[in-house]
Structure 1
Amino acid sequence: MEKPVAIERNELFKPSFREAIRFWFILGWISFGGTTGHITIMHDFLVDKKKWVSSKKFFRALNACMLLPGPEAHQLTIYLGWKLHGLKGGVLAGLFFILPSLCIILGLSLVYVYFGNSAFLSALFSGLKPAVLAIILFATYKVGQKSLLGTWHYIVALLAFLLSYFVKVPMPWIILGVMVLGFSLYFLKPKEEKGKSEQEEEVDKERFYHVNSLETVPSISVRKISVQFLAFFLLWLGPFMALYLFMPDATFWKDLSFLFTKSAYLTIGGSYTVIPYVANLVTEKFLWLTKTQMIDGFALAETTPGPLVIVLAYVGFMAGFNHFDHSYAMAMVGLAATAYFTFLPNFALIFIGAPLIERSQKNKAIQYVLSLVTASVVGVIVNLAFYLGQGILFPTTSGLANLDWKALLWVAISIFLLFRYRIGMLQLILLSLVYGFLLYLLP
């Protein structure tokens, strides 16, 4: 029977608090390309370049975050910040990851309501959208290289793509099916125990990283979890009561607070599980936005760094703007409130559930199942690429006659730059803006 091995952290690669915070701040400004882009950037820097975290530990944490409601990239950022520098590291990492995108989406929302759908803005979007598609394809390829480890991983990824694209099966049901399949495969397959040399080789590999997969697992304290739960409840209750008691139209703020708190717990599998849910409610039930405004907001969020779920902050902005007779002040309060109630649960889930996540990383059955979940997410992201590709390359209807050749050209150029020259995400976005500007000058 294989015995667990515990090793000390490698202090040689321990980052200073300032160095880590600098990275989290920069990450918030350059993390384009959705979840896959965020994960790729973090893995390249934290694992490959700095050796702050081992690859095994990184993907174990990612797998666990994928099973939690909420955007997994944001949760992974909080978790890794916590592992590197405790509570303050997790809080600041999580804040710096979303603050830049919040500032940008606020600026874009102000531009949107002030200028509307001008020809100039439409041309800029025509340059940005093909680049976003290329970034998603490139990042999916890189993550797939690291997470598709065997035959069953490829099969699961393919099935996830087919079910999500052709059958329209929601992501939570795909994850549930993969979990059942994973546990079945794990308990049916022959058990292989690592020999002593394999175990020693793993220890030798992990010991070169500051945060690694062989650390001692912290104990679970019911008292500590209870105190944390109460603290986060009070953090939710305080702003809610302030909005309800002191802002005009208490019913609006109650509905907004409850909607985005609930939506924070319905995002298993990524932002694309919550966006249709919210879009339907805000356009059909609450009538805060028109369908056109919702679609435009989705396009805006695609071109900002940070998690795609930041589109909900735009929804809060437009809800306040429309509901209170084009009030810019109420729009900004709506954006701030929506962001707060959307992202607070991520901090609660990670800080309260961190010991449970740590323990799950030592369970081989859970780790095998989660590796298949990661593979299924790769398949669903390929589905996303097809979905976006249809809207970007065929903006009106399907068919070769309706193909947007200018968009296809920029997708091809962007993919070439990413694969051949490893151009940075920020540089590609800037080039795409230039391309969009040229489209405006030369229609």
Structure 2
Amino acid sequence: MDEAHNASRYTLWQMVLYMLRLGALGFGGPVALVGYMHRDLVEDRKWISDSDYKEGLALAQMAPGPLAAQLGIYLGYVHYRILGATLAGIAFVLPSFLMVVALGWAYVRFGGLSWMQAVFYGVGAAVIGIIAMSAKKLTDKSIKKDKLLWAIYLLLVVVTVVTESEVAWLFIASGVLVWFLRAPPKWFAGSSLNAAALAHVPLAAGMLGTTGAPLLAKIALFFGKAGAFVFGSGLAIVPFLYGGVVQEHHWLNDKQFVDAVAVAMITPGPVVITVGFIGFLIAGFAGAVVAALATFIPCYLFTIIPAPYFKKYGKLPGVVAFVDGITAAAIGAITGSVIVLARRSMVDIPTVVIALATAALLWRFKKLQEPVVIAAAAFAGLVLYPLMHS
């Protein structure tokens, strides 16, 4: 622990304050959030090394749960271990959780959020510009001119666009491919054990049934499955949530669920925090707390348990190659998700203009703060949406 403290250029309190700020002002979903962390903590402040960041991104992509939250937890762990991971994770999630709970209260109290469509019209388009720029920076930084990594990257772009989801086994396969080609292992003991462990994941998921349980217990079990068995970002978890919340349990109707996704997009922090809004609609504040805890505790555990081994063995050639492969796959999937989201958010000429203008402004003015862009886009949406849908 002493060595970790001596190696750091910042205090734990500074990291906690940064995560609070990112959770309160970081718009754009997981793609943008992981980009902000790289820009702020690796490039600008130099608190985190590029290798530590890549290890964290690879671990977050390998494990189930929300990508940005797991990366934030890992970056808190880098120099301040479990205490740092815990406080960083809480600080990152808490601001957006409080926001979605407040919106949930307003939604229930005033019978819906009619203004949300207009705001989302502008913000959704601006978010595309923000995450496109983040994906470009990650690509330039991590893929560079490596032909093998470019092939993996492009494959994941195509797969994500075609399937509109993140295919988890391709991340692992990409890591194994680069590992075998660049630092082939001398022995394969343990591979059958790993395969056997993975084979039991669907069985474990099936055991987490919710039949006959009280409402809060049902919420805990369902959202626990969402946190424990869904890989990737908010893009991947939305279909899972829809299937359970709307189709299986009938807790919400279609319109309420769409509003919940919109709330996730117009609030800062992790997209998955929409579980707090959904939980509030189902069972009030207690439902919001239970849904959020059940979703985020698994991702916390999936980060801090393997983290020491990533730190200890992360510099070995085989591990470096494996991490490079998974990182290329992760960034490819992130870039593909930009295209998927763009098709849903850029629906007419004004939204295309907003998205392109956002990307151009962020390209031209490197220090431009995203919350300023989001506020301008929300105002544009409030003005333009009634004109386009009158």
TM-score range, shorter chain: 0.7 to 0.9
1:162 is aligned with what amino acid? V
Q: Which moves more between the two structures, 140-149 or 345-354?
A: 345-354
Match of 2:72 among 70, 73, 77: 77
Percent of residue pairs bearing the same amino acid type: 27
Aligned-pair distance for 1:126? 1.3
1:276 counterpart = 2:220: no
Aligned residues of 1:316 and 1:335 also touching (Cα < 8 A): yes
Counterpart in the other structure of 1:194: none
Deviations 1:206-236 (A, max 9, x none): xxxxxxxxxxxxxxxxxxxxxxxxxxxxxxx
Aligned-pair CA distance for 1:169: 6.7
C-alpha distance in structure 1 between counterparts of 2:163 and 2:298, whole Å:
31
Bigger shift: residues 172-181 or 260-269: 172-181
Unaligned runs of at least 5 residues, structure 2:
186-211
1:360-379 to 2 correspondence within 5 Å?
A: 360-379=313-332
Matches within 5 A, 1:227-246: none
1:174 partner amino acid: L
Give the letter aligned to residue 405 of structure 1. I
> TM-score, structure 2 length as denominator?
0.84
- Paired position in structure 2 for 1:90: 85
Q: Is residue 309 from structure 1 mapped to residue 272 from structure 2 by the alignment? A: yes
For the residues of structure 1 that align with 2:215 and 2:323, how far apart are their CA atoms? 40
Out of 97, 101, 107, the position equivalent to 2:102 is 107
Deviations 1:65-86 (A, max 9, x none): 2211112321222222233334
2:386 is the counterpart of 1:438: no
Relative distance call for 1:262 and 1:25 in structure 2 (3 A) is: same
Instruction: Answer yes or no: is the 8 Å Cα contact 1:160–1:379 preserved in 2.
Output: yes
Instruction: Tell me if structure 2 keeps the 8 A contact 1:171–1:273.
Output: no
TM-score (norm 1): 0.75
Q: Cα deviations across residues 39-87 of structure 1 (Å, max 9, x unaligned)?
A: 2222222222322221122212221222111123212222222333343
Residue 147 of structure 1, aligned match among 142, 145, 154: 142
Shift of 1:137: 0.7
Q: In structure 2, how many angstroms separate the alpha carbons of the residues matched to 1:358 and 1:279? A: 37
The reply to whether residue 416 of structure 1 matches residue 360 of structure 2 is: yes
Structure 1: how far apart are the matches of 2:141 and 2:387?
42
Q: Given the superposition, is the C-alpha separation of residues 144 and 342 from structure 1 closer, same or farther in structure 2, using an over 3 Å criterion? A: same
Match of 2:193 in 1: none
Q: Secondary structure at the match of 2:251?
A: coil
Question: Match of 1:259?
Answer: 222
Provide the alpha-carbon RMSD of the alignment: 2.4
Name which one, 1 or 2, has greater alpha-carbon Rg.
1
Indicate whether 1:384 and 2:379 are aligned.
Answer: no
2:291 corresponds to 1:338 = yes
Matches within 5 A, 1:13-412: 14-116=9-111, 120-149=115-144, 150-167=146-163, 170-187=166-183, 251-320=214-283, 331-394=284-347, 404-412=348-356
Cα contact 2:27–2:268 (8 A) shared by 1: yes
Specify the code of the residue in structure 2 equivalent to 1:268: F
With 347-356 and 332-341 compared, the bigger mean Cα shift is at: 347-356
The answer for unaligned runs of 5 or more in structure 1 is 1-7, 190-248, 321-330, 395-403
User: Are the aligned partners of 1:179 and 1:369 in contact in 2 as well (CA < 8 Å)?
Assistant: yes
- Maintained 8 Å contact 1:13/1:50: no
Name the CA distance, whole Å, in 1 between partners of 2:166 and 2:76.
31
Retained in 1: the 8 A contact 2:122–2:381?
yes
CA–CA distance in 1 between the matches of 2:5 and 2:83?
21
State the SS of the aligned residue for 1:388. helix
Residue by residue, what CA displacement relative to the aligned partner does 1:73-111 show, whole Å, maximum 9, x if unpaired? Answer: 212222222333343322111101001110111122233
Displacement of 1:10 in angstroms is 8.8
